Structure 1
Amino acid sequence: MGAAGEVRILGPVEVCGPHGRAELNGARQRSIVAVLALRAGSPVSVDHLVDVLWGDDPPRTAVRSLHSHVARVRQALTDCGMPGALTTKPGGYQLDAVVDAKTFDRTRDLGLWRGEPLAGTELFGWGRAEIGRLREQRIAALEAYWGDRLDRQNAVEELERLVVGHPTRERLVGLLMRALHLDGRHSEALEAFKNLRHRLADELGADPGPDLTALHTAILRRDPALHSARPAQLPARAGHFTGREAEFDALKGLPPIVVVSGVAGVGKTTFAVEWAHRVAEHFPDGQVFLDLQRLTPARALTEMLHSLGVPADRVPADPTALYRTLLHGKRVLILLDDVRRARDVLPLVPGDQGNLLLITSRDTLSALGTRHAVHTVSLDLLSEREAQALLSDILGAQRVHAESDATADLAIHCGRLPLALRIAAARLAIRPGRRIADLVRELTRNDPLDVLTVDGDDRTVRTVFASAHRTLSPQAASLFRVLGEHPGASFPADLADALGPGLDELVASHLVNETGNGRYGLHDLIRLFARQSADIGDGVERLLDRYLTVAHAANEVLNPRHDLVTRPPSDDLPFPANRAAVLAYLDAERDNLLHVIRLAARNCLHRETWQLAYLLTSYFEARGNWAARVEQCEHAVEAARALGDRRAEAEMLRGLGIALQMTSRIAEAMVVQRQALALVREAGDLRGEARLHNNIGNAHSELREFERALESYRAAMGVHGAAGDEEGVALARRNLGYTYVRMGRPDLAAEPLFAALETFRAKENARLEAATLMSLGNAFHQLADLPQALLYFADALRISREITDHRFEADALTDLGVTQLALGDPAVALEHLARALEVCRALGDRHREATTLRRLGEAALALRDLAAARDHLTAALAVRTQAPDDFELAQVHRTFADLEGRCGRWTEAARHWARAVALFSSCRRS
């Protein structure tokens, strides 16, 4: 009872205020309170009050008497703590208070009734009609109440008492008949019908209605459908439920069949139970819950009939028809938890669309959708915000806020998997003094599947994964364990298909998830479980063998000159034999390539380690990403040495030298290239020796040691010629011409470059043709023939794009931009340079990125966009720290000096100029 007090009219009329019960003297005062309570919150006119209090023949003093009684009632209400509850309105009075009859209208709470409504009053007209209305509401509520509780022990007794008071009320008699029948008292149920029929005939000259007659017939036949009950079997909601609002919103239309699927531990049952509770009021005929992990389909159907009130001895041989009959015309929510296969649930689909079938399954149950309209909810991992909200809800916002970084780390280590998060939070909750960071450290240092457990609870991350694994076919289980060894975040479908059947089953079971673009992956904790689940024997070897097959086929397309490794041809390749398709496939796999080589090295599979790195050479020549290439080659060199294969060691030292040079580690590159040169000379490998002379020349050129570079290229030409390698000779000539350009001697560059170009075109080597065209463009740029330079650069760009060589594409775009700048068109130059910057960043080539940023700064200066120029040059300085090059750094400082001079910042300009001069001097001395 609130401070406002309560007026009770569902029994003797009384008012209970904060200070106790109001003293209402006489039937007239109680009648006034009752009538005003029936219209609580609205004014009642004096004429209506007179009519209901005195009827059709009120005395002449009725109005005066009414005012007097109202005054006494108002004082009584004030005395009990309800001042202002009874107010005067124009032409009448209004009572503002909580009224039990109004509460009953809303809640149908039979506990509010204390006897005959409005007892202790004397009412006429519509007042008496209100008494009849309230009596009808009560008996209707009693019928609804006992209609849901016919199987209770006292149902027959209570219904018999009600029928005595209402002997001709067919609904009550029908309920009594059902209750007697359910209690096994079939003859008494038939007798109740007989008594009603005689009474109706004697008093009204009528027969029972068709519904009651049909019930009588069903009892005579002992129809099993009469045993229908109103089950309420939903499990309790999970504590601290957070998130999933988008998924709940998608279910607002209450589709008749819903499948909630997702990876083990993602919270399917928790979600389904939460939603079932939210919508339970829409299913007044009951809610059934069955765990299908422990039930056969036949047993599940029998359990369903028991839940609907059918006794064990009345379950027919074919229960499906009875099941659908019992649900016909009803609104029942059926929650089937942990369904394995679509065929297990098909017999349990209701025939009536008014019911709701809610299913949880690790499988998507796609076969169910071929027969029925199914709404699927695929639960994903929690978002970072939802994961932290769940931890905050369980542990308390203050504790989580105090260790916000550790909380974020905990969510990551739990893979944002709800079960893992709840277990981790439970471990922290039982030890309030423990730091979240301590648990993160434990997860980092130990097996997370061992850590994510709670004493006394056998439902751990490992056990739920194991239960999903047990349902797999042998083929899918084998594939799952092998895929667990895959070291990358995702893998292509062709990889899984090449390793064996079962990918579709793993996806349907959510042990493997689609990541888009034909790629798949495993959750981190699932991958860990897969690796621990069994001894997989040659699983790693099978993975690596597939990668070797693909890498070899790719190399055959990109550069068959890399021919140290031979493998039998394969009919099962994931790409057609053209350069664009091969590069596109390897681009999608780029993040995996280093991980796969690390896997081979970690497992001491030395042959696979160096061969994979070797076969990927042509891909990295086209695409860059040299930082990863350095580590690949380092693993490959160690593997070759472990095998004692000096030819492989030399080749991978050569590859390492190129990668080191491309990452601006020139001095280191020179060391490993000379090591490789000694090995190939020892082996008498002329081709290998010639290639190393070329590479050493490139290193000298990058160090601006041009004379030494020329010596190396001439040595390369001689050895290539002795080996009869025309393309090798042409490559050395191209490098010779390129070095003349860098020396500022374009007059000497033309002859070797044109000779190289002729050979590459004859050999249809488009990649080196593009490289030579760029060198020719640079030569003609220096010769001040800028239109001719543009033509060479445009041809180089076209070829680079045709063969999808992004490194050369970036170079050609940069050269076009520089030439357009020299021609006085900085706007066009800016377009070319901006595109070049995008390509350099996609390649991860920091050296080219820094150079392009410097050129962009120059173009912005030419456009007088000083703010943009400052941004580009500042970025160039920052990137150059990751790709040191004193000559290029000097160029940046020189351009910065120009910028600061234009801004009038002479001190800063002088500082940059001095830095540029010092760097240029250092380059000349070296």
Structure 2
Amino acid sequence: MRILGPVEVCGPHGRAELTGARQRSIVAVLALRAGTPVPVDRLVDVLWGEDPPRTAVRSLHSHVARVRQALADCGLPGALVTKPGGYQLDASVDAEVFGRTRDLGLWRGEPLAGTELFGWGRAEADRLREQRLAALEAHWGERLDRPDAVEELERLVAGHPTRERLVGLLMRALHQDGRHADALEVFRRLRQRLADELGVDPGPALTALHTAILRRDPALHSARPAQLPARAGHFTGRVAEFAALADLPPIVVVSGVAGVGKTTFAVEWARRVAGLFPDGQVFLDLQRLTPAQALTEMLHGLGVPADRVPADPAALYRTLLHGKRVLILLDDVRRARDVLPLVPGDQGNLLLITSRDTLSALGTRHAVHTVNLDLLSGSEAHDLLTGILGEQRVGAEPGATAELVVHCGRLPLALRIAAARLAIRPGRRIADLVRELTRNDPLDVLTVDGDDRTVRTVFASAHRTLSPQAARLFRVLGEHPGASFPADLADAMGPGLDELVTSHLVSEMGNGRYALHDLIRLFARQSGDLGDGVERLLDRYLTIAHAAGEVLNPRHDLVVRERSDDLPFGADRVEVLAYLDAERDNVLHVIRLAAREGLHRETWQLAYLLTSYFEARGNWAARVEQCEHAVRAARALGDRRAEAEMLRGQGIALQMTSRIAEAMVVQREALALVREAGDLRGEARLHNNIANAHSELREFDRALESYRAAMDVHGAVGDEVGVALARRNLGYTYVRMGRPELAAPPLFAALDTFRAEDNRRLEAATLMTLGNAYHQLADLEPALRCFGDALAISREITDHRFEADALIGLGITQLALGDPAVAGKSLTDALAVCRTLGDGHREASALRRLAEAELAMNDLAAAREHLGAALQARTQAPDGFEEAQVHRALAGLEGRCGRWTPAARHLAQAVSLFTSCRRS
């Protein structure tokens, strides 16, 4: 689409036949907003003005239809699309290209020629004319020494006699051509015209130029500086960052982590916009310059001889820049105070700064636009490697290339160094470099002979500027093994977090969490003596875990610690769980760290103190490994009681991951240890856990025997909650046995105890078991109430495991009541919670029950999909009885589809599994 002159559209089949000014006007205004819907009322306003005819909308639709046909005829079908309430043009437009490139060759005459526009349409034409004039000024500002400069500028001034920027350029061109009197006459004519027509004088910039010409100031003949460094080869990405600078803010700070490409970005953008600053471009590396030295260097760059630098260089600096358009690039600024004297006095110039620091203090005095450069995206990193190494080489090893991107952490400097190492050895495979990075210290590998700018050296330069406190905190945080950490953890380790963030050695992730880039973490670990940093890190996690356990379940009292006043949460269970949810992925890493460092006490205590969290949230696979580390640590200490407790925890985790036989082994090991120690309370708990395992294996007689033993021992030590828990589990087992009539007495007795003790979590568990008992008795309304009450409590205390169980029970009951749609909603919600928990057993159960609801709604495709997923989930969480139920449901599904052979196969598999379960 072309609107910088007569409006016209050229497509693959030639030029579009636009008949009349109205059709051209429609194309023009839609092109002005290309890619954006324009409402019908806005189109009516611009096409007919303030008093449109009553038929305007109908007429608009008619014209749009004709324009759409004309576009289709020239090979652009679909370019004009209807949007809710308006229309949108999707096409390349010369005005948009000009806005990005300032290419004057795109202009063919008056903008929007051949149209009849009102209101904002005319304003847009004026805007385009202004853009063209600004581009012409920039163009001739760089070409004042051309032979035709005076002639072209005289023509432009004749058309715009009061435009002071053009007049100033003409005066400069005449002066440089030796026509000093003519230059002064141009100024006199402008001053006279402004006085006669507007009653004003020329502006200070033009007046200063007039004075300089009168004095024959030699600075007027100084060469325009052109000091920008060369572009980096194969620049890629940063599209959004460039777009954010489209309006040319007068002060830009480019900030980011060391090695992220701040200077590369700044030079690339400066090169792109250099044409808009015809008075020159200055570059200074401020890394080793004082502010005074930087000012002197800047004056030299602007043409001031060394012997003419005054005692107050800042004043001369601002004077020289007044009324000019100069781009100033200051690289590697350390502090805001270093750059304050270099801020130009007016906004016609551009000050572009790169710094590892965010220079927030600069923003308190000036309007600053900050560009925070992030790591490259995966695709951008791939494109950078492709640009350097070539498509053929990168395409031959896609897997190794992806691994190289990961090893370099998507850090541009690391990627460029890695690519340079490969480029100098064309026969070397990318996989060979990846292998070298894997086997050796990446900071040693990411170097190139003859270039002292390595990943390690740029990190070291940032590290050298830190205060002692921040440097100490940096080393400690380097040992943190997780992907991110909370602010309170860093604060507990000592002061300096804000300084590390400002220096971009630590990145703010949002939600009060922070992280170190992988390569920066490696550098931090190598940057000095850590002292007791690991012990302090672990002590903080122990403090948090202990305080959380006191809120979640104070019965876990084997570890005694003083409560800290410096906690990130209070006594609210929901708040505690939310904090630990954010730290969930870190916990296993921290326990691994403690085990690796041989800190046995911290290893088992941290695993023990997190017991209550995992009871509420699941994630049992990680819990298995935690307990394995803890058991080994307790054995290394010779602490039999701790060993027994962590074996018990390991057994629970194994059982929750459907590894029942292994769970039974470790629970019996723990039972032997507590009996040896005379720990009756521990013995009672283990009887209960062993009974649970027997129940899951459908060894019901053994389960009942162990529950009775648990109740006896709990009663002997006066643990009423323990007795109630064994009763609740006993009732659960009666339900699994298909004897719901026996379940009610122990369940109601347990419920009374839990309510008396205000134990909401176990109250919810008991209500769910009662719901299952009522369901088996076909008493569905009480079952519905029990599951609903259990769900409300589970959500109140944010116990996701019980929430999933309650939703499954609710869905089963709703299905039995003949409401499969409502049941499907409950079971879909249950499935989402199960997947959050990472609980394969519950996920498989939810999938099977959801399929049953879908079968009831005759949604056979969805049922087939979910039953297949249930079978797949059972490979990770085996349960013969549940798997048999899935095969039975699949048999029924295939039968309904008339697929008798698959139906018979599934039915045979179900019978085989049921038989196997009964035998075992």
Same-fold call, TM cutoff 0.5: yes
State how far apart, in whole Å, the 2-side matches of 1:843 and 1:564 are. Answer: 27
Which one of the candidate residues 585, 603, 613 is aligned to 1:609? 603
Equivalent residues of 2:485, 2:515 under 8 A apart: yes
**Aligned partners of 2:325, 2:144: CA distance in 1, in Å?**
24
Is the CA contact (8 Å cut-off) linking 1:227 and 1:309 kept in structure 2? no
Deviations 1:295-336 (CA, angstroms, capped at 9, x unpaired): 011111111112112222222222211111111111111100
Check 1:107–1:577 CA distance in 2 against 1; reply closer, same or farther (3 A cut): closer
1:480 and 2:466 matched: no
SS in 2 for 1:350: coil
Contact 1:224/1:310 (<8 A) preserved: no
Check the 8 A contact 1:610/1:652 in 2, yes or no. Answer: yes
SS in structure 2 at match of 1:293: helix
Which whole-Å CA distance do the structure 1 matches of 2:467 and 2:142 have between them? 54
Within 2, Cα distance between the matches of 1:818 and 1:618? Answer: 29
Alignment partner of 2:874 out of 847, 855, 880: 880
Any idea what SS the aligned residue of 1:883 has? Answer: coil
Question: Any idea what SS the aligned residue of 1:377 has?
Answer: strand
TM-score if structure 2 supplies the norm length?
A: 0.79
Structure 1 residues 494 and 110: CA distance shift in structure 2, 3 A: closer
CA separation of 1:106 and 1:335: change in aligned 2, threshold 3 A:
closer
2:706 aligned to which of 685, 701, 712: 712
The Cα of 1:242 is off from its aligned counterpart by 1.1
1:618-653 Cα deviation digits (max 9, x unpaired): 000000000000000000000000111010000000
Among 805, 814, 821, the alignment partner of 1:811 is: 805
1: CA distance between counterparts of 2:358 and 2:143?
Answer: 43
For residue 786 of structure 1, report the CA deviation from its aligned partner.
0.8
Task: Name 2:423's counterpart in structure 1.
Answer: 429
Alpha-carbon distance in 2 for matches of 1:269, 1:171: 43
The one-letter amino acid paired with 2:365 is R
For residues 767 and 818 of structure 1, the distance between their equivalents in structure 2, rounded to whole angstroms, comes to 22
Q: Deviations over 1:875-913 (max 9, x none)?
A: 000011000111111111111111111111111111001
Provide the residue aligned with 1:292 in structure 2: 286
Using a 3 Å threshold, how does the CA distance of structure 1 residues 359 and 112 change in structure 2: closer, same or farther?
A: closer
Matched, 1:665 2:659: yes
Residue 820 (structure 1) aligned to one of 801, 811, 814: 814
Q: Which residue identity lines up with residue 607 of structure 1 in the other structure?
A: R
| SS of residue in 1 equivalent to 2:303 | coil
| Number of the residue aligned with 1:744 | 738
C-alpha contact 1:342 1:365 (8 A) present in aligned 2: yes
Judging changes above 3 Å, is the alpha-carbon distance between structure 1 residues 813 and 108 closer, same or farther for their aligned structure 2 residues? closer
Q: What code does the residue aligned with 2:872 have? A: A
Higher alpha-carbon deviation: 625-634 or 490-499: 490-499
Q: Is the 1:877–1:889 contact (alpha carbons within 8 Å) kept by the matching residues of 2? A: yes
Structure 2 partner of 1:578: 572
Deviations along 1:348-388, whole A, 9 cap, x unmatched? 10001100000000111111111111111111111111111
1:216 Cα deviation after fit: 7.4
Could you tell me how far apart the structure 1 residues matched to 2:757 and 2:207 are?
97
Report SS of the residue matched to 2:778: coil
CA distance in 2, matches of 1:170, 1:352: 25
**Whole-Å Cα distance in 2 between the matches of residues 753 and 210 of structure 1?**
96
Is 2:329 the counterpart of 1:335?
yes
CA gap 1:835/1:215 in 2 versus in 1, 3 angstroms: closer
DSSP 3-state at the match of 1:575: coil
What amino acid is the match of 1:562? H
Counterparts of 1:753-902 in structure 2 under 5 Å?
753-902=747-896
- Aligned length, in residue pairs: 750
Q: Distance in 2 between matches of 1:149 and 1:675?
A: 100
How do residues 423-572 of structure 1 correspond to structure 2 at under 5 angstroms? 423-572=417-566
Which whole-Å deviations, capped at 9, do the CAs of 1:126-171 have from their partners, x for residues lacking one?
xxx99xx9xxxxxxx9x98997999xxxxxxxx8xx75xx796558
User: What's the RMSD between the two structures over aligned residues?
Assistant: 2.6
Report the CA distance shift for 1:108/1:454 in structure 2 as closer, same or farther (over 3 A).
closer
* Residues 224 and 314, structure 1, Cα contact 8 Å, conserved in 2: no
- Post-superposition offset of 1:109: 8.3
Alpha-carbon distance change, 514 to 106 in structure 1, aligned in 2, over 3 angstroms? closer
Q: How does 1:209-288 map to 2 (within 5 A)?
A: 214-215=211-212, 218=215, 229-288=223-282
Q: TM-score, normalised by structure 1?
A: 0.78
Matched to 1:541, the amino acid is: E
Contact 2:184 2:210 in 1 (8 A): no
Indicate if the aligned counterparts of 1:613 and 1:636 stay in contact, CA closer than 8 A: yes
Larger Rg computed on CA atoms: 1
- Alignment of 1:921 with 2:915, yes or no, is yes
Is the Cα–Cα contact under 8 Å of residues 218 and 226 in structure 1 kept in the other structure? no
| Cα deviation code 1:815-869 (max 9, x no counterpart) | 0111111111111111111100000000000000001101111111111111111
What is the rounded CA distance, in whole Å, between the counterparts of 1:305 and 1:622 in structure 2?
68
Corresponding residue for residue 722 of structure 2: 728
Q: Residue 734 of structure 2: SS of its match in structure 1?
A: helix
Please tell me the residue identity of whatever aligns with 1:276: A
Partner of 1:433: helix, strand, or coil?
coil
Q: Does 1:403 align with 2:397?
A: yes
Amino acid at match of 2:474: F
- 1:254 and 1:111 map into 2 onto residues whose CA distance is 27
List aligned pairs for 1:301-380, cutoff 5 A: 301-380=295-374
Unpaired segments ≥5 residues, structure 1: 1-104, 118-128, 134-140, 151-158, 175-208
SS of the equivalent of 1:266 reads coil
**Residue 509 (structure 1) shift:** 1.1
> Partner residue of 1:587?
581
Residue pair 1:231, 1:307 contacting (<8 A) in 2 also: yes
Distance, in Å, in 2 between the alignment partners of 1:461 and 1:349 is 31
DSSP 3-state at the match of 1:329? coil
Contact 2:258–2:458, Cα closer than 8 Å, also in 1: yes
Q: Does the 8 A contact of 1:227 with 1:308 survive in 2?
A: no
Counterpart code for 1:286: G
Contact 1:285 1:330 in 2 (8 A): yes
8 A contact 1:148–1:229 mirrored in 2: no
Deviation at 1:436, TM superposition (A): 0.7
Q: What secondary structure does 2:287 align onto?
A: coil
The separation in 1 between residues aligned to 2:819 and 2:368, in whole angstroms, is 62
Q: Distance in 2 between matches of 1:585 and 1:691?
A: 28
Tell me, in whole angstroms, the C-alpha distance in 1 between the residues paired with 2:527 and 2:185. 62
Task: Decide whether the 8 Å contact of 2:644 with 2:670 is kept in 1.
Answer: yes
CA distance in 2, matches of 1:823, 1:346: 75
- Following superposition, the deviation at residue 226 of structure 1 comes to 6.8
Aligned counterparts of 1:621 and 1:807: Cα–Cα separation in 2: 8
Could you say if the C-alpha distance between residues 912 and 269 of structure 1 is closer, same or farther in structure 2, counting changes exceeding 3 Å?
Answer: same
Q: Is the 8 A contact 1:170 1:212 kept in 2?
A: no
Q: Spell out, residue by residue over 1:387-428, the C-alpha distance to the aligned partner (whole angstroms, 9 max, x if none).
A: 111100000111111111111111111111100000000000
Q: Any conservation in 2 of the 1:780–1:789 contact (CA below 8 Å)?
A: yes
Moved more, 802-811 or 224-233: 224-233
Q: How many Å separate the matches in 2 of 1:146 and 1:420?
A: 51
**Could you tell me how far apart the structure 2 residues matched to 1:400 and 1:498 are?**
46
Measured in 2, the distance between the counterparts of 1:218 and 1:643 equals 90
Once residues 142 and 409 of structure 2 are traced to their aligned partners in structure 1, the CA distance between those partners, rounded to angstroms, is 47
- Call closer, same or farther: CA 1:284–1:437 in 2, change over 3 Å: same
Per-residue deviation, residues 493-533 of structure 1 (Å, max 9, x unmatched): 11111111111111111111111211111111111111111
Preserved CA contact (<8 Å) 2:142 2:278: no
CA 1:167–1:630 in structure 2 vs 1: closer, same or farther (change >3 Å)?
A: closer
- Write the distance in 1 (CA, Å) between the matches of 2:180 and 2:793: 99
